[in-house]
Chains A and B, each alone.
Chain A
Amino acid sequence: MNTTPKHLYRFASLTMTALSGIMISTSIFAADAAPSFAGSYQCKRVDASNNTNTYPLEIINNGNTYTFEWMDANGFPLYYGTGITHPTAPTLAIASFFDPKNPSAFGVEFFKIKPDNSLQSNWVLQQSNQVGSETCTRSK
């Protein structure tokens, strides 16, 4: 005869549920760690006025930093940037960027590196309170 109270079964069931939830949560977090970052991307850039442009972006690993090159359709640079990933949050990256035709126009872009190697970012120019966005899909 089983004399174990039903509420103990329920407690055990909920405990297992919680543990499985923690394991799933942990595995999601682990899967989010340190995907590759340098490479070629196709990006859609949207400014605060909702003007949209598409650009190829090349991210080059230089050892301590990354170089960012946004190109126009003819392969000429639209923006250059220098950036890093955060040492303890490697799915987060930043770049300070500037327009080579107008070097006084510079800003920062804040990237989230997604598990599928795509990028989601927001950017702002210095001394501006208008925030733009950008999404990039890796092309190779």
Chain B
Amino acid sequence: MNAFNNSLAGTLGLLLISTYSPAFATPADISGNYQCTYHDLGDTSKMYTEKMTIKKNGTVYNVQVFGKDAVIPYELGTAIFNTEVDNAFAFVFWNIKDSTTYGSEIFVIKSDGSLDGAFSYNNNNNKPGIETCTKLY
């Protein structure tokens, strides 16, 4: 009986832990510099690289995206977390010279700090893409 009680209590304890832990925890600090590679969906023949800088700004993050060797960003962005998701973030990005060209991207944060992302442009069904980023230390 004691063993049963211990088992039941342990099971309930683990159930509570397993239910609680995936959500509502403190999100990771995503601030930093990242080296990224992306391609349009279904077209891995054209791979592109860019650098991304993320800085915390209160409850959001400011994002700057740079082309290869560039010192001025070609895209800006604003990133947020979902209050019920601590291992992913989303951001809206726009072209710094043409703010009518914009879209959104979602990144899942992997255990090593790298990012696994997908993006799409506004009002364009043909250009969703995939992006991966490695954090630079």
Interface band, chain B: 35 or more
Q: A104 near B120 (CB under 8 angstroms)?
A: no
Q: Is B121 an interface residue (CB 8 A)?
A: yes
Interface band, chain A: 35 or more
Q: Which A residues touch B113, using CB under 8 A? A: none
Mark interface residues in A101-126 (1 if CB within 8 Å of B CB, else 0). Answer: 00110111111100000001111111
* Shortest distance between the CB of B35 and any CB in chain A (Å): 20
Q: B84 near A112 (CB under 8 angstroms)?
A: yes
**A110-B90 in contact given A14-B6, A86-B118, A92-B85 (Cβ < 8 Å):** yes
Q: A120 near B84 (CB under 8 angstroms)?
A: yes
Q: A63 near B80 (CB under 8 angstroms)?
A: no
A54 to B13, CA, bound (A): 39
Among B105, B108, B120, the one with the most A-chain Cβ atoms within 10 Å of its Cβ is: B120
Would you list the 6 A-B pairs with minimal beta carbon distance, nearest first? A21-B14, A25-B18, A108-B92, A17-B10, A110-B90, A96-B104
Give B residues with C-beta under 8 Å from A. Answer: 3, 6-7, 10-11, 13-15, 17-19, 22, 41, 57-60, 76-78, 80-85, 88-92, 94, 99-100, 102-106, 108, 116, 118-126, 128, 130
